[in-house]
Structure 1
Amino acid sequence: MPEDAPASEDVGTVYLVGSGPGDPGLLTVRAREVIDDADVVLHDKLPGPEILDSIPAGKCEDVGKRAGGEWTPQEYTNRRLVELAEQGKTVVRLKGGDPFVFGRGGEEAEHLAANEVPFEVVPGVTSAIGGVGVAGIPVTHRDHASSVSFVTGHEDPTKDESAVDWEALAATGGTLVVLMGVGKLPEYSQALLDAGMAPETPLALVERATWPDMRVATGTLGTAEATRDDAGIEPPAVTVIGEVAASHDRLRAFLANERVSTVDADDGDVDTGDAEGAE
């Protein structure tokens, strides 16, 4: 019997919900249903301001970033999910993107199962695909990329025990999508260059994908850090490395998305191209 097993059979259900990249229009019908029916919604900052504003404040619990720049420990979130379910509550754990793509949803699912708490996974549109797609960047393309790799940018590529094989990734010839990789951009871009990836390989940074203030900056692997700094790109942002990243510059004048702005990395100005309604 698990250490903190439920005291009764009247255990609530936990929903591990992906909210998509941030635009409420990309929230799935199922996600909207369970959010509306929930007693409590445990969320972080990534679901996007419009989605969070649509949830009554009285049933929201922020388990993301705290005052002083500290993050809620994962162990606390795990315990809180079980605690609320044991009280018979219907609980939504709301995450940005998809809960099983660098969202620690797998850890939470295992913790719930270990404590005999029923749960349901509600997939979301991951920013690794949908977030860059709205910027006109396909992660695969018949002429440019037959494979795609998703990597977390939180890990330091110079550490001895790195779980990311940057040399192998550089050799795939496919698209590389790095999530949460703004801060470590200089390190992993250099690691890819050291592994033999060409400096002229196209690169794009998509900041706050689908949010009202979404921005896109483009450059090359060799100019990665300068592209980030000149454009002032900040988290949350997705990095796309590979030939498909050049698609944004070719397509941006015809993107009808109202929320796609392109940053000129040379002077920080926003270039909306000819896209109707672009900010």
Structure 2
Amino acid sequence: MLDALDVRSGHRVLEIGTGTGWNAALLSHLVGDENVVTVEVDKALAAEARARLNAAGYTPRVVVGDGTIGYGKGSPYDRIIATASVQVIPSQWIGQAHPGAVIVAPWGPAYGGEGVVRLVIDETGRAEGRFVGSSAFMRMRQQRRRLPVTERFVDPQTWPAEADLSTTGLSPDDVGDWIVMFAIGVQVPDLFLRITYGEEGAYRMWLFDTGVTSWATADYLKSRTTFQIAQAGPRRLWDELEAAYSWWEAQDKPSFERFGLTTRGGPVCKVWLDAPDNPAPTPSVEEPSPGAHGS
């Protein structure tokens, strides 16, 4: 991430998430501690990090505060780096940086999968750039989502309840890799999942939407080549997932490095493949006829 940040002598750097202070020490070594501001939401962690940094001979500005609002008093910055993941690039980060400044942050959708994105800010306040690889950071505290409990959709004890049943040849195991989850999540941004485990490696994959309208399950058994699907509600969430997977597969199973992100900060962003004019699609899935059931 520091390599992607490409810090140079004299750069003003804002770090979001001080943690132990290790990364702030590296930044201080690279650009001088007088040029480093690091923000930590946890007061105790900030105090411990400050003590460690001072003991190592570094005195960057350690600020206790909300990382999503940055630190305006130290702006404008040439580089911003986050050591906690986000789903929304805060507009304050962009507003506190020079045109031409770089933001490096772990970014991922609600469904799962996460990569480090390197964004460059232009003169209009647009931040755009490619992902440089996968990552797995704790979500920034201010952006952690309290997802609806399963019982708001269905009582698991009554499964399959009124769901439509069908089968699929796509194994739930095939959609569990980090990059696959990322590709699905950017196409179906309100999708999230849970897993309940059975015996001998069997499990049930539950899919839900954050609007609490629909749910689906996919049952995995090691010995099977087809898998039972249950879907309920106005949407068919497994079909949406399968369409998203098929798109990723049709693009030659792209890695994180082929994806990019464009945003002006806030919840609106565009994830694209290979070039900004090729956005990842939102799959169009036909809803089943009323009362239709698979077999």
Q: Which has the higher contact order (CA 8 A, sep 6+)?
A: 1
Which structure has the greater CA radius of gyration?
2
Q: Which has the higher helix share?
A: 1
Q: Which has the higher strand share?
A: 2
